[in-house]
Structures are given as structure tokens and as C-alpha cells.
Amino acid sequence: MQSNYKTLGDYIVPIKTKNSDLKAKELLGINIDKFFMPSVANVVGTDLSNYKVVKKNQFACNRMHVGRDNRIPIALSDKDEPFMVSPAYDVFKIKDTSILHPDYLMMWFSRKEYDRNAWFYTDADVRGGLAWDAFCTMKFPLPSPEKQREIVTEYNTIKNRIELNKQLIQKLEETAQAIYKQWFVDFEFPDENGNPYKSSGGKMVFNEELDKEIPEGWEASILSSLIEVKYGKNYKHLKSGNIPLYGSGGIMGYVDDVLYSKPSVLIPRKGSLNNILYIKEPFWSVDTMFFSKLSKEFYGRYVYYYLSSINFNSLNVGSAVPSMTTQYLNGMVILKPIDKTLKSFENLIDKIGNQIEFRKKQNIKLIEFQGVLLSKVATIEN
């Protein structure tokens, strides 16, 4: 172990301030990915005066399930206002922030290697608790304050860029969804003169299958007329490569083979059925996903936003575990606009979609670089 490694307990002090005056109103928990989040605990009728208070630049951690979860949920508060956490949590602060920077210590706690090391300190309980004394005996590297600030600044630059990209992605998604609604729900797509169709007197006709008025020339169809639903495939035999591997949460990694090379809509088969994805590049998708072969490429964005507007998790389309079936998908009745309108929508939304994909891929690379910086903490010298 390097000479600049120090014992954690020498640099932190526990805080046991309770919410006795009930001034702290917000109750937060700690995500296993090490950030504070709104608590899901039912506190109706609970005496909140016994809950612990966390202030800015203080830490909170849950040491009870480290062995079970292989992680120690721990987070640093950057909130200006104090908030509550469970009485079972530990709250602590750094004794002297001129010697140890809170953000630097949080970087150390964020390392995967730290969680693995914490596992070895857990007790024999089935949940694998981590005693406070054991927590305090763990070691960490302590470079000079200048080095700490340097690496924290570098890390926060990447972190802030990731957050900015997330905000931009959300805004772009909201814009695209608003355009979809304007065109295909409100029917205010541009007419031949560039004016909103319905409010400019565009002809509407009643469709019995959809039980509503739709623009003249549009029709009700079934989803299988726009896409052919295919099963994803097992990927365990594949080697690492540069082809994105998609699951319901997005890119899981990169492999050396292509399952499908044209634009496609990806639909989860089980679990969170609302995680619909639209992919333009060659890809491989796991066997818990459907992917679609589009009848015409310009159907892609429309089908994606149409399916994204449906809350599939509220539908009984499978077993006790929310499950999607080819029978249900193929038989879905869907509004089918004329091709001219769909082409115009594709061209417009594709520009927004490309920006979304660019930001998402950039974040994947930035997160990888974050991991490099976290690894660097273990070897940094004065």
C-alpha cells in the first residue's frame, strides 16, 4: 500500500443531529449508485423528529446490506437546505476540509474497487452488514489539497458535461414528442400551403375502427403492415467489438457481429415494456427484445413515437410478469397517415433524433472516462 494512504476514521466524525424541531421537511434515501433520491418509505403516522438531518457537504451511508448488494450506498449532499434521512443511516462529515476535500472523498467512495474492498469488511449476517468501526478502519489515498482540487475539477468537468447532455436530450425528446402530438394527435401538420391542417379547414372524416375523425386519405391499419416483428438473439457467444449491443435499458456493450443493419424499433419482451428504442445503426439486440423490420424506412420515427405514447405496462398483454407478445403487437390497430406526411415527419424528426443519439453516445464515452479518472485516484501521488 502506498505511503500516502490514510485511515478514514482519522479524518471523519459522525453527526447525530435529529430532526427534533421538524425544520427539515424533505425525506431522502440513498441509491446504490450513490446519490440521494426521494424516499419511497411510507412515513404516515411516523415520528419524523427521530430522523437524522443531513446538511450541505455532509455524507450519509447505509451500512446494513453491503454484503448482499456488493455495494455500500453512500452519498454527499450538495443541497443548500438540510433534509432528513432514515435513523438507520449514518451521517458524517470531514473534520478538516482544508486537508480533505469532500468531493475528492466522494470520488473515492464511488470507485467499484472501493465497494469490492468494503465487501471484505462485512460481518457474517445474511445481509452482510458493515460495522462502523470497520468502515472507519478502511484506507484511502490522501494527496495534497492541490492535487485533490485538480482531480476534482477534472472529474466535475466531465460530470457537468454529462448532466448538460442529459438535459439537452430531455429537451430534444420533449420537442420531438410535441411535434408528434401536433401532427398525429391534434392533426395540425403542415398542409400544402404550410398551414396547420385541421385549424385551416383540412377535411376530416370519421373512422369507425379508431372511433374518431382523422384527416382525409389517412386510414386505420394494423402494426404488422408497417413493421415485421423479429426476435432478438442470445449474445453470449459473441466477442467484444464495435457493434452496439442493445437491451431494454439501451447500449449494454459492444460486440463483433451484426444482427440487423437497417433502422429499427426495439421493443422489450418482458419487464419494463415502455422502454421503446429507435436505432439507425447496425446493431445486435438481446433475446429479451423484439426488433422490427420496417416496411418502409420512413415509417421508423412514426412507429417509435406512436408506440412510445402507449403505456404498455398498464396493459394485460402477457403473464404475471409484464410481457409483450408478437400476437399483441401484430394485431395492434394503428393510425396510418399518408406516406407523404410520414416522409416529411421523418425528415424533420430525424435531425432531432440524430442530435439525441449524438449526445447519448457522447455520454457513454464520458462515463467511460469518468471511470478512468476514478481509477486514477488510487495511484495519484503528491
Render each residue's pLDDT in the chain as its tens digit; 382 residues. Answer: 466 899 999 999 999 999 999 999 999 999 988 999 998 888 888 899 999 999 999 999 999 888 777 889 999 999 999 999 999 999 999 999 999 999 999 999 999 889 888 888 887 665 678 899 999 999 999 999 999 999 999 999 999 999 999 999 999 999 999 999 999 999 999 999 999 999 999 999 999 999 999 999 999 999 999 999 999 999 999 999 999 999 988 889 899 999 999 999 999 988 788 899 999 999 999 998 999 999 999 999 999 999 999 888 766 554 566 678 899 899 999 999 999 999 999 999 999 999 999 999 899 899 999 988 888 888 876 5
Do 332 and 250 belong together in one domain?
Answer: yes
Same domain, 221 and 322: yes
Could you write out the DSSP letters of every residue in 161-194?
HHHHHHHHHHHHHHHHHHHHHHHHTS---B-TTS
Residues near 315 by beta carbon (within 8 Å), at least 6 away in sequence: none
Do residues 82 and 205 share a domain? no
Strand order in the sheet with 284-285: 250-255, 240-247, 284-285
Q: Are 60 and 176 contained in the same domain?
A: no
Residue 107 lies in a domain: yes
137 in a structural domain: yes
Q: How many whole angstroms separate alpha carbon 304 and alpha carbon 94?
A: 49
Helix (H, G, I), strand (E, B) or coil at 346: helix
Closest CA to 59 of 127, 107, 10: 107
Contact 203, 216 (CB under 8 A): yes
pTM: 0.78
One domain, residues 106 and 195: no
Q: Dihedral angle at the C-alpha atoms of 103, 109, 112, 118, nearest 10 degrees?
A: 170
Number of structural domains (the chain) is 2
> Residue 106 belongs to what domain range?
5-142
Kindly report the backbone phi and psi dihedral angles of residue 195, in degrees, each rounded to the nearest multiple of 5, phi listed first: -95, 155
So what's the pLDDT on residue 100?
Answer: 97
CA gap 64, 219 in Å, rounded: 58
What distances in angstroms separate CA 344 from CA 104, 218, 280, 340, 367, one per listed residue? Answer: 50, 15, 17, 6, 35
**Which cell numbers in the block locate residue 33?**
449508485
Residues 234 and 343 in one domain: yes
| Start-to-end C-alpha separation, the chain | 15
* Residues 87 and 219 grouped into a single domain: no
State residue 315's pLDDT score: 63
- Among 126, 142, 158, the domain-final residue is 142
Residues 279 and 356 in one domain: yes
How far is Cα 229 from Cα 266, in angstroms, rounded to an integer? 9
Same structural domain, 26 and 130: yes
Strand 240-247 to strand 284-285: parallel, antiparallel, or no bridges (unpaired)? parallel
Which residue is associated with the grid cell 473515492? 108
pLDDT of residue 381: 66
Q: Which one, of 16, 205, 32, 6, lies nearest residue 99 by Cα?
A: 6
Domain-located, residue 162: no
Output the pLDDT for position 125.
Answer: 66
Query: If DSSP codes are grouped into helix, strand and coil, which group holds residue 369?
Result: helix
CATH number of the structural domain spanning residue 310: 3.90.220.20
Domain stops at, among 124, 142, 160: 142
List, for residues 57-76, the tens digit of each pLDDT value: 999 999 988 877 788 999 99
pLDDT at 244: 93
Looking at the structure, tell me whether residues 75 and 207 fall in a common domain: no
Cell 407478445 sits at which residue? 325
Task: Supply the pLDDT for residue 316.
Answer: 58
Q: 150 lies in a domain? A: no
pLDDT value at residue 12: 97
| pLDDT at residue number 271 | 74
